[in-house]
Structure 1
Amino acid sequence: MINPIAIQLGPIAIHWYAICIVSGLLLAVYLAMKEGEKKGIRSDDILDFILLAFPIAIVGARIYYVAFEWGYYSQHLDEIIAIWNGGIAIYGGLIAGLLVLLVFSYRRMINPLNFLDVAVPGVMIAQTIGRWGNFINQEAYGKAVDSLNYLPAFIRQQMYIDGSYRVPTFLYESVWNVIGFIIIIATRHKPHLWRQGEITAFYLIWYGCGRFVIEGMRTDSLYFMGMRVSQWLSVLLVIIGIVFIVYRRLKGIGPYYLETKEEN
């Protein structure tokens, strides 16, 4: 079993979970800044946005998780802020981050669709790395299985929980996001392929479809009206993404991705 604490400096403990989240964030910022240069979005704007949005997204992700597990946290109020033990919901973070982005884009006079299209690939990579924090914390896994012989030994060992091997749903989502990231990176600069906002819409569809299936395998899901909360939201994201693309294509709305550039 991997120790969830990476570094212990006296009373200060640095968890692998936090390292995964911060590493994903840094890589996402780097990717956004590189692409932002081509789209006329200043690096300073991206950094300012991240410094504002990241802490708010973490709070949003925690509030979302705690809200749907209030039965437990109402009896353990001291654990509400203990995010180093896990328990943040990516959808809560995405919702909070989106709200910040809309306000930030308005204040900086940046088209939010351009900002999103630049940021989305980095978001997918950040989610990919973040799932390995779940792996180290031994959370976000599926049902018990007889063996995991198709996986490397270090994953099998870490996925041996409560006397059984567990389906590594963290790994499935991580791989799914990497595939989506590769598709976007390999195609986004092809002429007359993506329209403005469609990279973001693709992310909604791709992530929503993968998350719906993978969430169904998990044993630690949050529930609402008899179905997993993340599955409800996944369906909503897929619908939004499809409607966005179909409507704008039928109406001929929006320039192509390569034709959009912010004026500074």
Structure 2
Amino acid sequence: MTPSAYFATMVIDLNPNVARLGPLLITWHGVFSVIGIIAAARVGQYLLAGEGISGERVYDMAVWMVVAGIVGARLLYVWENYHLFVGAWQKVVFLNEGGISQWGGIFGGLLGGLAWSLRNGIDYRKILDAVGPANALGFAIGRIGDVINGEHHAIPSNLPFAVEYVNPETLGQPGRSVHLEVGYELVWNLLVFGVAVLTYQRLKLRLPTGVVGLLWLAVYAFGRFWLSFLREDSLLYGLRQAQWASLAMILAAGVLSAVWLAWERRGRSDTELPAPPTAAQG
């Protein structure tokens, strides 16, 4: 389908930069990333209140998760794009200029939450349950910044609609009508968040602790796997890095859920009392 065949092409003429304060460049990507983190922490606080975990402790945990998530997100991005840093390795710490891997942030944040839980004697599975819905909202808000800056390049659109970035400062693909892939991810995350919140208490009553959060992380990963086919990211053994990470998340969620389900069933069977003898047996 050629650009002239589109029913609608949305032109994005937005400067990805908000302001420069000396050496500090403030970008919309960074602004919405911060808002997303705050929103995710607030959702986590609300959900974990029912587990007896105070808001102060949730925000303390959030700091651990954010720091570990930022480190993981940046390191994975640098590993994927090391050629951009050869000869200028000091740029690795220039987070304000963009360049992070969302999957690196997810896995890093989960490890940060695990470390906090072990340090504070909190059941990590309770944290996971809240992480599923909370992160979905945080990811959705963060994608608003990606829609503005056009950082994640997509393939030409084969749908009746497309998007074109035209701002001189854009990180997008000027002159090309492409899929708004990050916009699709934004919608997917909002759907995951909405369903996760509406079914949270019901699933918590039916599934072992931790499995609810793993379920929604896996659902997010499922959508991300298929949407990544619309990206122009480099391939590794036929798939994009984000797709391999999505499969890793789905596999990890499946294995851990199976282990916890088996553990709960075994615990129930061990605590069951033998039936009293009947009159005939007596």
- TM-score, normalised by the number of residues in structure 1: 0.84
1:244 aligns with 2:233: no
Partner of 2:246: 234
Q: For residue 197 of structure 1, report the CA deviation from its aligned partner.
A: 0.9
Question: Does 1:198 find its partner at 2:200?
Answer: no
Aligned ranges for residues 1-264 of structure 1 at < 5 Å?
1-9=13-21, 12-145=24-157, 149=161, 161-190=173-202, 192-219=205-232, 221-250=233-262, 252-253=264-265
Q: Which runs of 5+ in 2 are unaligned?
A: 1-12, 268-282
Do the aligned residues in 2 keep the contact of 1:24 with 1:125 (CA within 8 Å)? yes
CA distance in 2, matches of 1:113, 1:179: 23
CA 59–248 in structure 1, closer or farther in 2 if over 3 Å, else same: closer
Alpha-carbon distance between aligned partners in 2 of 1:24 and 1:248, rounded to the nearest angstrom: 30
Distance 1:253 1:170 in 2: 41
SS at match of 1:14: strand
TM-fit CA distance, 1:195: 2.5
Secondary structure in 2 matching 1:166: coil
CA contact (8 A) 2:30 2:96 kept: yes
Letter in 1 for 2:209: Q
d(CA) in 1 for partners of 2:33, 2:152: 15
Deviation at 1:188, TM superposition (A): 1.1
CA shift, 1:42, in A, is 1.5
Q: Deviations over 1:173-200 (max 9, x none)?
A: 1111111111110111127333311122
Unaligned runs of 5+ in 1: 256-264
Q: Distance in 2 between matches of 1:106 and 1:226?
A: 38
In 2: Cα distance, 1:205 partner to 1:254 partner: 25
Q: Deviations over 1:102-149 (max 9, x none)?
A: 121011110001012123211111111111211222121311237764
Judge conservation of contact 2:132–2:215 (CA < 8 Å) in 1.
no
Q: Would the aligned equivalents of 1:212 and 1:234 in 2 still touch at CA under 8 Å? A: yes
Of the two, which has the highest radius of gyration?
A: 2
Q: Is the 8 A contact 2:132 2:217 kept in 1?
A: no
Could you tell me how far apart the structure 1 residues matched to 2:102 and 2:69 are?
Answer: 9
Structure 1 stretch displaced more, 5-14 or 187-196: 5-14
Q: What is the CA–CA distance in structure 2 between the aligned matches of 1:41 and 1:141, rounded to whole Å?
A: 41
Q: Deviations over 1:134-175 (max 9, x none)?
A: 1222121311237764x7xxx655697321111111011111
What is the Cα deviation at residue 49 of structure 1?
1.4
Q: Distance in 1 between matches of 2:266 and 2:73?
A: 32
Per-residue CA shift, 1:28-68, capped at 9, x if unaligned?
11111112211111212111112233123112101111012
Amino acid at match of 1:189: Q
Q: Which whole-Å CA distance do the structure 1 matches of 2:266 and 2:174 have between them? A: 53
Q: What percentage of residue pairs aligned between the two structures are identical?
A: 25
Partner-residue secondary structure (3-state), 2:26: strand
Number of residue pairs matched by the alignment: 250
Structure-2 separation of matches of 1:8 and 1:176: 33
